[in-house]
Structure 1
Amino acid sequence: MTLRLGYGTNGLTDLRLDDALGLLADLGYDGVGLTLDHMHLDPLAPDLGARTRQVARRLAGLGLGVTVETGARYVLDPRRKHGPSLLDPDPDGRAARTALLVRAVEVAADLGAHAVHCFSGITPPDTAPDTAWQRLTGALAPVLEAADRAGVPLAVEPEPGHLLSALADFHHLRTLLGDPEPLGLTLDIGHCQCLEPASPADCVKEAGPWLRHVQIEDMRRGVHEHLPFGDGEIDFPPVLEALASTGYDGLTVVELPRHSHAGPELARTSLDFLRRAAATTNGAAPC
């Protein structure tokens, strides 16, 4: 299997989107994790359709694959990070997040993306776990219907501190929803190092049947901080070999959202690092 590497635009927010895409293509990336946000492709802009078509042409011209990511911090509310979420106590708040994700599915279909990423959100104070799970499943139902119509999988990410924070929680969600075909998994390799009981490589193997999107960066045990490669504790060749063993053929996207100030240089060094790591494995050829 050939490792298909991408870089997240949430780590290139100091660049115009056209410039960011050109940079990634010039460096040799295979694709991009495109976060829908005001500074790049604004999902709430009145000209979204025209802009999406323009981005699709740009991606095609550069030969870049794409995953649509929905982790923008303040896209819905300028005062609440990631708010409102799918768990918001206000039904209108949950509906706003659901509508955003449905729109993301539509954008993904227009771009030819291989998945749409999302996460659950943090459980609000004084909210019982059963209530939080009920809110999550109810809010995701229209998104999964849209994903099914569009033929674009929804890849839910376990996020430290969220209701759905670990692989076990993803499987709980699958059970609650009846294991719908459009529901898949975003696996963040750093998050595995941060909090999963198994090693990152073993997490990849366990997650294989449901993998629809992969994010990658370095991290330390017990500390949710996305780090450049070599600054954390992860042994990457076994992770990349595990990815190869699953048959996963989507993008593996570098996720450094707090390093945009050094984005162009980190995009270059990250690609070099992952190519070297892949070259030492038996299964994942460098891209």
Structure 2
Amino acid sequence: MKMALDPTPFHRTHSLLQFPQLAAELGYPYLQLTPHPDFLPFFTHPKADDALAAALKKACAEAEVGIASILPVLRWSSPDENLRQAAVRYWRRAVQLAVDLGVSQMNTEFGGRPEHPEESEAAFYRSMEELVPLFEREGIQVAIDPHPDDFVEEGLAAWRVIRGVNSPNLGFVYVAAHAFHLVDSPDRILREVGDRLQMVHVADTMDHRASNGLRYITNPPGNPVRVHQHLKIGDGDVDWQQLFAALARNGFLDRTDTVMVSSVFGENENALEVARYQLATMTDLVNGTR
């Protein structure tokens, strides 16, 4: 298993080419590249040219830090056909960047809308018809996260959509910070997903369902909002012993191609300390289950 830093908390303080050295200084052997204005921005065409990709690869080599995964967030399941087609084009360039960087793991979201679930699912499968041959040809694994406010949010429902593509190049991302939106227990999800569990994002969150659904109040009542956090381990309600025990039973912790990412976004003022804490705590949790 590879342990990676998500550098999102450092986007405003460090440049893209500084991320590899930053990860090394924090003790992480790998990076996960998330949406960044100089590389793969949210929803739009990748902004890195071949020269920038080459410079990033060189910076990684000099820091002795690998890129474990690349995370585009694009509207490839949009009910708007123009946006869907654009997202497919953007995905093609994102895959080329991954290949040039020597990265075989990508991860993403479903990229549709919960108010249009049938149209979004249909758009998703149309995009898969166009992109899966590319993933398979280039040897790219793509793991998908059922994100809150997407057309599929629950764990087992998301796995069924992924499984329906019928490609070994598609897998599942378990995001601990989404645990209470996934509905299904970690044990059940990870048992069903099996070795198609490719990535885990580690961040804590509060259970929005607690206190009879009144832990978080939005006005007017009934707003179609989704609430979650990306906090450091121990600051929320995730049962970490249960999750890591499920990961051990799944075999995730012992496979060489899996990726565990620290993805804390809610504590930028303490980002350096939190990143170190996350790595130490993830390591302790892994060792405690073996």
TM range (shorter): 0.7 to 0.9
The offset of 1:106, in angstroms, is: 1.7
| TM-score, normalization by structure 1 | 0.81
- AA matched with 2:262: V
**Equivalent residue in structure 2 for 1:90, among 65, 73, 80:** 80
Question: Which aligned pairs between 1:1-287 and structure 2 lie closer than 5 A?
Answer: 3-14=1-12, 15-39=14-38, 44-45=46-47, 48-61=49-62, 62-71=64-73, 85-123=75-113, 125=115, 127=116, 129-177=117-165, 179-198=166-185, 200-222=186-208, 223-248=227-252, 249=256, 250-282=258-290
The structural deviation recorded for 1:67 is 0.2
Report deviation, 1:152: 0.9
C-alpha RMSD of matched pairs (Å)? 2.4
Separation (CA, whole Å) in 2 of partners of 1:207 and 1:30: 27
* SS of aligned partner of 1:226: coil
Alignment match, 1:75: none
Output the CA distance in 2 between the equivalents of 1:197 and 1:173. Answer: 15
Quote the offset at 1:216 in angstroms: 1.2
Take 1:109 and 1:201, find their aligned partners in 2: how far apart are those partners?
34
Cα pair 2:70 2:98 within 8 Å, conserved? yes
CA apart distance, 1:233: 1.4
Q: Which moved more, 1:258-267 or 1:248-257?
A: 258-267
- Structure 1 stretches (4+) deviating beyond 4 angstroms? 39-43
Unpaired runs of 5+ residues, structure 1, are: 72-81, 283-287
Query: Secondary structure at the residue paired with 1:219?
Result: coil
Q: How many residues of Structure 1 are paired with residues of Structure 2 in the alignment? A: 263
| C-alpha deviation, 1:40, in angstroms | 5.0
1:67 touches 1:115 (CA, 8 Å); kept in 2? yes
What do the CA deviations read for 1:205-252 (whole angstroms, capped 9, x no partner)? 433321122211111223422112111112323423432333333220
Higher relative contact order (CA 8 A, sep 6+): 1
> With structure 2 as the length reference, what TM-score do the two structures score?
0.80
Measure, in 1, the Cα distance between the counterparts of 2:265 and 2:239: 21
Q: 1:25-47: per-residue Cα shift (whole Å, max 9, x none)?
A: 122212111014214566633x5
Alignment deviations for residues 190-214 of structure 1 (CA, whole Å, 9 cap, x no partner): 212443231x355334333211222
C-alpha distance in 2, partners of 1:134/1:109?
28
Amino acid at match of 1:24: A
Cα distance in 1 between the residues matched to 2:147 and 2:191: 19
* Identical amino acids, percent of aligned pairs: 22
CA distance in 1, matches of 2:9, 2:160: 31
Aligned position for 2:224: none
Deviation at 1:122, TM superposition (A): 4.0
Q: Are the equivalent residues in 1 in contact too, given 2:203–2:230 (CA < 8 A)?
A: yes
8 Å CA contact 1:238, 1:281 repeated in 2: no
